[in-house]
Amino acid sequence: MSAPENKLKKQLLEGRVQCGLWMGGGNATLAEISARAGFDWCLIDGEHNPNSDAMAFAQLQAMDGGGASPVMRVASAEDWLVKRALDIGVQTLVVPMIHTAADAVRVAAACRYPGWAQGQGSRGMGAYQARASGYGGHADYVATANDEIFLFVQAESRSALENIDAIAATPGVDGVFIGPADLSADMGYPGNPGAPEVQEAIAHICARVQAAGKPLGTVTFDVNDTPGLISQGFQFIGTGGDLALFAAASRGLAAKANAYKEK
């Protein structure tokens, strides 16, 4: 049996827009609810939220059978972080802080087993007892896994802006994810991704990635931004986050309850 089909990869390569939810809560119940809410994908954030391997593993199990494809953002481009995410069954990865073509080459290799047709894979051969291979049930997993991986690298610095053509052209970089918050901070506009210079940089990255024929990704916490992002060419769009949703709903409910007390 081959590696499971990466349905999200198929949709992205067909040019379809895929909208998802950013998950920072680290909770399997929230992951289960989110995966069945109607999103195309749900992303477990291991960079800015305390999602350990065990927590991510539990969330992936809870999402199994839901309609949303699981995605994970690892904390950094370290090979061992990439390897562990893949072995617990993640097939679509977002890797932050990719500044140069050399960074992109290294992380693309870390996602693939040796023998990869596009380049030198360096992923360790440890999937035989891992969830990714169905605990050995997918006998052809190693031979077919490379084809089902989708790698987004994050362009979120001046260096990435300067090197975007080489990053986007790297074999095994399947898409480029623009991180507007870090990009704006690195450009001298912390907390202001709407600054004209930042928006010009984003437009330039978009144009170069589209010229390379690779899907674009980003995240917003205002779903009303989605039409504009689609018009810019983004296909992989985070439309909100579980913690932001819960925080807003909790505050709203408390405000209503407190208002009733005052009547």
The answer on pLDDT for 85 being more than 80 is: yes
Q: Considering the chain, what is the average pLDDT of its residues?
A: 96
CATH number, residue 187 = 3.20.20.60
Average pLDDT over residues 2-9: 96
Report the candidate in 123, 234, 220, 105 with the shortest Cα–Cα distance to residue 163: 105
pLDDT digits (tens, 9 = 90+) for 184-222: 999 999 999 999 999 999 999 999 999 999 999 999 999
Among 48, 99, 138, 204, which one carries the catalytic annotation?
Answer: 48
Query: Is 1 inside any structural domain?
Result: no
The answer on pLDDT for 117 being more than 90 is: no
The answer on pLDDT for 26 being more than 80 is: yes
Q: What is the pLDDT of residue 262?
A: 79
Q: What is the pLDDT of residue 139?
A: 93
Number of domain units in the chain? 1
Catalytic residue status for 48: yes
Query: Is 212 inside any structural domain?
Result: yes
- Predicted TM-score of the model (pTM): 0.95
The answer on pLDDT for 263 being more than 80 is: no
Query: Is 65 inside any structural domain?
Result: yes
Q: What are phi and psi of 172, to 5 degrees?
A: 95, -15
Q: What is the pLDDT of residue 179?
A: 94
Query: Is 2 inside any structural domain?
Result: no
pLDDT digits (tens, 9 = 90+) for 124-175: 999 889 999 999 999 999 999 999 999 999 999 999 999 999 999 999 999 9
Instruction: Please work out, in degrees rounded to the nearest 5, the angle formed at the alpha carbon of residue 150 by the alpha carbons of 103 and 94.
Output: 55
Q: What are phi and psi of 168, to 5 degrees?
A: -65, -30
Domain carrying residue 148:
7-261
